[in-house]
Amino acid sequence: MIGVGVIGCGYWGPNHVRNLSANPSSRVLYACDLSEERLAHVGRLYPATRPVRDYQEVLRDPAVDAVVVATPVSTHARIALDAFRAGKHVLVEKPMTASVEDALRLIEAADRAGKILMVGHTFLYASAVRMIQRTIAGGVLGRIHYVSMQRLNLGLFQTDYNVVWDLAPHDVSILLYLLPARPVAVSVHGRANVHPGVEDVAMMTLRFDDGMIAFLHFSWLDPKKVRQAIFVGDKKMLVYDDIRDTEKVDIYDKGVSAPKHYDTYAEFKFSYRYGEKVTPYIEEVEPLKFESAHFLECIQTGKKPLTDGANGLEVIRVLEASHRSIKNGGGFEKIG
C-alpha cells in the first residue's frame, strides 16, 4: 500500500484526500495545511489521517511514499523539490510552477531521484475529453480549421496570479492533448477590473505550427458560468459543454465548401452541408478519481504519467509567453 501525504488542504486538496482515501492501493497518512480550521475540517472527515502544519514533518516520515502538492503556485517548486530530495513521488497541482526555469528544475530533480513527477491537469482524465481525443485522432472532424474555448465564471478571485495563470492551464493542456500540432505563438489581451495589476478577464489567441488557430476567453467577472469548447473541422464540427451533467459532447455533420473550378462569378457558389447532430454516449467517471488511480499506477509500475513533467512544462511555456504578451499590449510572443 502506498503511503501518501496531501500538502495543501484549501479548495482542492481535500478532494485529493477523498479520492486517495477511497483507493485500496493507497493510504493518506497526512493532511498538511497552515490553517488550523482547514485541518480540523479534513480531520473530521478523515480521522485516520494525521493533521500537521509543517510539510517537512510529512517528508521526514519514511512511511510516506508520495505527496500531493495542492498549495499556492508560488510554493510548488520549493515544496516539490524538497519532496524529491526526501525520496518521494510527487503529484503537483496546476500550474506546475510559476516559471519555466522552476519547471525545468522539477523535471531534473525527479529524474535525479528516480521518482514520478505528475501534474494535475485533471481535464485530461475526463471521459468527455478522452472521447474527443479519439474522435479527432480518428479523423472524424477532418482537418481542424480553428478552435474556440470559453472558461468563464464570477470568481474565484485571486491576488497572487491572474486569470490566465488560473484558468488557461485547463484549456491549454486540453489542446496539447487533443491536437497533433504544437502552439508556436500567443497573443493575450487582458484587463484588471477589480484588483489592480491582476487581470481578471483575458482573450488569448494561439497560433499552431500547422497554421491552425485557437481563441480562448477567460474570466472571473462573468455573470454566467461557461465551460465550452468548439472544434470546427472541414468534415464535421464538435461542441463540448462541460457544464452539462450528461451528454457533454455533440458532433455536427455541418460544413461549407467552395467550388474547385469556376469561370465566372455567377458560377461561384458555396456548398453548405446541414447534416444530423450526434450526441455520443459517454460513461462518466470522476476525473480526479481516474487521475489519482493513474498516479498510483505509475508509482507501482514505473509507467510514464499522461500528464508528466514535460506536459506541465509545455503549459508553463505558453503561460510565460502569455504574460509577456499582456505586458506588451497583446502582441504575439514566441512560445518556447
Q: How far apart are CA 122 and CA 129, in angstroms?
A: 10
List the grid coordinates of 312.
506541465
Read off the pTM. Answer: 0.93
CA neighbours closer than 13 Å in the CB half-sphere of residue 152: 16
pLDDT attached to residue 259:
63
The CATH-assigned architecture of domain 124-285+317-334 is: 2-Layer Sandwich (3.30)
165 SS3 class: helix
List the grid coordinates of 189.
489581451
pLDDT attached to residue 266:
57
pLDDT attached to residue 260:
64
Q: How far apart are CA 199 and CA 221, in angstroms?
A: 10
CB neighbours of residue 181 within 10 Å? 16
pLDDT attached to residue 158:
82
Sequence letter at residue 120: G
pLDDT by 10s per residue, the chain, length 336: 999 999 999 999 999 999 999 999 999 999 999 999 999 999 999 999 999 999 999 999 999 999 999 999 999 999 999 999 999 999 999 999 999 999 999 999 999 999 999 999 999 999 999 999 999 999 999 999 999 999 999 988 888 889 999 999 999 999 999 999 999 999 999 999 999 999 999 999 999 999 999 999 999 999 999 999 999 999 999 999 999 999 999 999 977 766 665 655 655 566 676 778 999 999 999 999 999 999 999 999 999 999 999 999 999 999 999 999 999 999 999 998
Q: How far apart are CA 3 and CA 63, in angstroms?
A: 6
The three state secondary structure string of 260-291 is: CCCCCHHHCCCEEEEEEEECCCCCCCCHHHHH
pLDDT attached to residue 336:
82
Closest CA to 25 of 69, 117, 89, 119: 89
DSSP label at 18?
H
First to last CA, the chain: 39
For the chain, percent helix, then strand, then coil, each to nearest 5? 35, 30, 35
Cα 180 to Cα 101, 183, 202, 315: the distances in Å are 25, 10, 25, 15
pLDDT attached to residue 267:
52
CA neighbours closer than 13 Å in the CB half-sphere of residue 273: 15
CATH homologous superfamily of 2-115: NAD(P)-binding Rossmann-like Domain (3.40.50.720)
Domain ranges of the chain: 2-115, 124-285+317-334
Closest CA to 161 of 71, 73, 70: 73
